[in-house]
Every structure is written in C-alpha cells, then in structure tokens.
Amino acid sequence: MSFEDPEDVEAMFDTVDGFGLLALYREAGQGDGVEVAVIRDASDRGADVFGRATISGASGFLMLISEAPNLAKGDTFEIDGRIHRVNATPVRDGFERVWIFGAPPD
C-alpha cells in the first residue's frame, strides 16, 4: 500500500470526516500519552498452518509518520479503553508518509 498525495493521506486520517480513530499513543507504553489518529487495517492475512492455507483477521493499523516519527515495537495505543501494543518493527509505506504496523490488544 502506498500513499502518493499528502493532502489525501491526511484527509484519510481525519477522525471526524475520514477513517481515523482517536488513540492515545505512549512511547514504550509509558507516560501520559499523546492523542493521535490511527486507521484500522482490516486486511485479512494469509498463513500456512500445518500445510493448510489459513486466513485470519489481523490487528493492524496505519498511522501518519509525522505523528510518531520514532514508532517502535513495545509502544502502545489506547483505543476505546483497550491497550494495543506494537508487536513488531513498524514498516514505512513507499512514500514514507504512513506507518504500517501490528498492534493486537493486550
């Protein structure tokens, strides 16, 4: 997934008129946190389990890199009272505007 037009990308993350969800971001799960906008990545993920193809819903998210330039494994997001922890190194999209990352609930 890549995001070419910066204005379109920012509009997607709008929490009123876009797809954005308000989240409380905490670096390393510590501190008071900062409000950011995230988008749930509802893509199904495929995996091979014991020789059988399996598809499962993933707890993936997208977030503007400008909101958390140092996003890392172990950081947390609180969404609707649930804590989601980044479980692997986040990946930047091809235009380096958006983080793509997994963060299942604790």
CATH numbers and ranges of domains, the chain: 6-102 (2.40.10)
Give me the pLDDT at residue 84, please.
95
Q: How many CB atoms lie within 10 A of CB 78?
A: 16
CA 100 to chain centre: 5
Give me the pLDDT at residue 7, please.
82
Which residues 6+ apart lie within 8 Å of 97 measured at CB? 3, 6, 9, 64, 65, 66
Could you report the per-residue pLDDT of 51-86, keeping only the tens digit for each? 665 444 568 899 999 999 999 999 999 999 999 999
Residue 3 has pLDDT above 90, yes or no: no
Give me the pLDDT at residue 5, please.
76
Could you report the per-residue pLDDT of 10-58, keeping only the tens digit for each? 888 998 888 999 999 999 999 999 999 999 986 655 555 566 654 445 6
Has this prediction a pTM greater than 0.75? yes
- d(CA 15, CA 21) in angstroms, rounded, equals 5
Give me the pLDDT at residue 56, please.
46
